[in-house]
Structure 1
């Protein structure tokens, strides 16, 4: 019984292959991809530690330094913003303090500053959902870094 079912399912495919009507897969697209034009190079990653995401929120790349004596922006580089946090790196205390400190520096509500990625890492992504531009955020971070 099983052999009969097998024959009925595969017989049409075998017959088509014998007659030369073999279905082939469509060719892959070139390396440029679907939506890209030839000759235009897309940047691999946005430059700077502060960028705007697809939903209109500002993302800040942060290099956290928990366990410091006081909260401070230590440096602003092309990769990340160095932030010293006066809270121990246990039970999410440093993450909460980081969000509180950044909300104070950027002059936005605490509820508009959230940790997006990196809950257990020193490299974090902080999401700002307030109506603020990346240029203003970067300017405020740099002015705070120059104070300390």
Structure 2
């Protein structure tokens, strides 16, 4: 982490303040301008159980135990991702991909490091 020194007056010790958040290696999640975290998902509906199969650099490979009709798979995506992240469903928003396997989810009130750590802990 980069630090910046600033003077606090004569005879006092200089203090250090962080200038940037540490960079993470993965690209499946990133911090948005509003401070929320954006997660890129590749969803495979119709599985026996909902589970994370892989968390590659590009996206999280997610199998969902719901059929791809009438929004059932999207509802299960939000429910399962909330369970994995340990947050409430209202903290998640499906930004894009309502009718696609590639989806983008916005997460409120969690830091990027927490999101990455919790997703990687659930990879099967």
Conserved 8 A contact 2:26-2:56: no
- Higher normalized helix content (fraction of residues): 1
The structure showing larger relative contact order (alpha-carbon pairs under 8 Å, at least 6 residues apart) is 2
1:128 corresponds to = 107
Where do 5+ consecutive residues of structure 2 fail to align? 1-24
What is the aligned-residue RMSD (CA, Å)? 1.3
Where do 5+ consecutive residues of structure 1 fail to align? 1-45
**SS in structure 1 opposite 2:34?**
coil
Instruction: Please give the TM-score of this superposition, normalised by the length of structure 1.
Output: 0.65
Separation (CA, whole Å) in 1 of partners of 2:44 and 2:26: 22
Report the structure number with the largest CA radius of gyration: 1
1:140 corresponds to = 118
Conserved 8 A contact 2:42-2:60: yes
- Report deviation, 1:136: 1.0
Q: How many residues align?
A: 100
- Higher normalized strand content (fraction of residues): 2
Q: Counterparts of 1:60-139 in structure 2 under 5 Å?
A: 60-129=39-108, 131-139=109-117
